[in-house]
């Protein structure tokens, strides 16, 4: 197999998104299938477990299909307003205690809904207790009602997110922290423990590549989670990101980008594993580092482990791991 160019210091990773939501109460079995899938993924060698976020819902769920509000054209929420959504940092804390190898990833956390100093403390704690396995994917979200329920201005949500990330990074990196902004001021503040990962928890910025998102990536980002139409071809946005990083005095060494793993199906609608993995090396060559797979994972742990192990083996062969 020929050598594959990699973004420097980054090994291509395979991720799966666990469903931390249900349209209705899961019932007597509760969330055990989610736990079993997480354990199976860890044993099989999946690189990242991905969890999404909603704190509350209003009743205007059609807004999710409006890109100008931060939604995605034609999108539809997977539950109604009374769907059951597990809080991601709480869930990842549980999964951290159950797993040993998988990285733990939010995609995305609507970070500005949490008070920034408390968020910094929670994330640092989770990073320490997980052995430095946390990745924080963040975005502004699309739903006005979530901001209103938190007593925050929806119109300023981008500035609020920047503020939250700034405070987190300050508290993670400064022993005697100082911060001044329109939102809050503090001086000589100590917040321990610091995250295990040098520089703090890696921040993956989600969004379409408008001016505000590019600036956010250049300022805070260790990675990018594409959103909207560009998510279908994230490679097309990489040059814009590289230019934004360069303008901010950064290079793209170690910068990460996620993309959906394009699943090829046979005539029986089953995954054609070989053809699916044939698409991976060219995407790695173009700068994709994280492949998110939407897979029909069996709910039972043993079956899920066997199923995912075969996919992991094929992925690692495709990227030369």
For residue 29, the model assigns a pLDDT of 87
For residue 193, the model assigns a pLDDT of 98
Q: Which residue has the tokens 């993924």?
A: 41
The segments of the chain whose pLDDT lies below 50 read 1-7
Pick the CATH number of 13-248 from 3.20.20.30, 3.10.20.30, 3.40.50.970, 3.60.20.10: 3.20.20.30
Q: pLDDT digit string (tens) for 215-224?
A: 999 999 999 9
For residue 4, the model assigns a pLDDT of 38
DSSP 265: B
Q: Domain spans of the chain?
A: 13-248
For residue 8, the model assigns a pLDDT of 54
pTM of the model: 0.95
For residue 267, the model assigns a pLDDT of 83
Return all residues near 314 (Cβ < 8 A) that are at least 6 apart. 273, 274, 276, 277
Half-sphere exposure of 141 (CA within 13 A, CB side): 28
* Cα gap 265→284, rounded to integer Å: 21
* Cα gap 112→66, rounded to integer Å: 21
Q: pLDDT digit string (tens) for 99-157?
A: 999 999 999 999 999 999 999 999 999 999 999 999 999 999 999 999 999 999 999 99
């Amino acid at each position: 197999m020929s050598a594959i160019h990699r973004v420097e210091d980054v090994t291509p990773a395979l991720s799966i998104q666990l469903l931390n939501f249900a349209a209705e109460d899961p019932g007597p079995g509760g969330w055990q299938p989610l736990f079993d899938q997480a354990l199976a993924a860890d044993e099989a060698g999946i690189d990242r477990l991905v969890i999404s976020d909603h704190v509350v819902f209003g009743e205007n769920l059609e807004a999710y299909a409006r890109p100008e509000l931060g939604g995605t054209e034609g999108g539809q929420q997977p539950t109604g307003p009374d769907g059951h959504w597990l809080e991601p940092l709480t869930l990842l804390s549980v999964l951290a205690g159950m797993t040993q190898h998988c990285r733990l990833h939010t995609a995305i956390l609507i970070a500005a809904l949490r008070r920034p100093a408390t968020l910094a403390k929670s994330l640092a704690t989770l990073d320490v207790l997980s052995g430095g396995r946390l990745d924080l994917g963040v975005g502004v979200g699309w739903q006005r009602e979530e901001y209103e329920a938190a007593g925050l201005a929806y119109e300023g949500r981008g500035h609020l997110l920047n503020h939250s990330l700034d405070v987190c990074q300050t508290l993670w990196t400064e022993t005697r922290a100082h911060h001044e902004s329109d939102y809050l001021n503090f001086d000589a503040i100590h917040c321990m423990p610091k995250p295990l990962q040098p520089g703090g928890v890696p921040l993956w910025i989600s969004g379409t590549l408008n001016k505000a998102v590019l600036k956010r990536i250049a300022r805070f980002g260790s990675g990018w989670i594409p959103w909207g139409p560009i998510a279908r071809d994230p490679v097309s946005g990489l040059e814009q990101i590289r230019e934004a990083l360069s303008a901010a005095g950064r290079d793209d060494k170690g910068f990460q980008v996620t993309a959906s793993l394009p699943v090829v199906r046979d005539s029986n609608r089953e995954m054609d594993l070989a053809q699916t993995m044939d698409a991976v090396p060219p995407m790695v060559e173009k700068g994709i580092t994280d492949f998110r797979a939407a897979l029909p994972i069996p709910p039972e742990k043993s079956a899920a482990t066997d199923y995912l192990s075969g996919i992991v083996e094929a992925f690692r062969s495709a990227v030369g791991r």
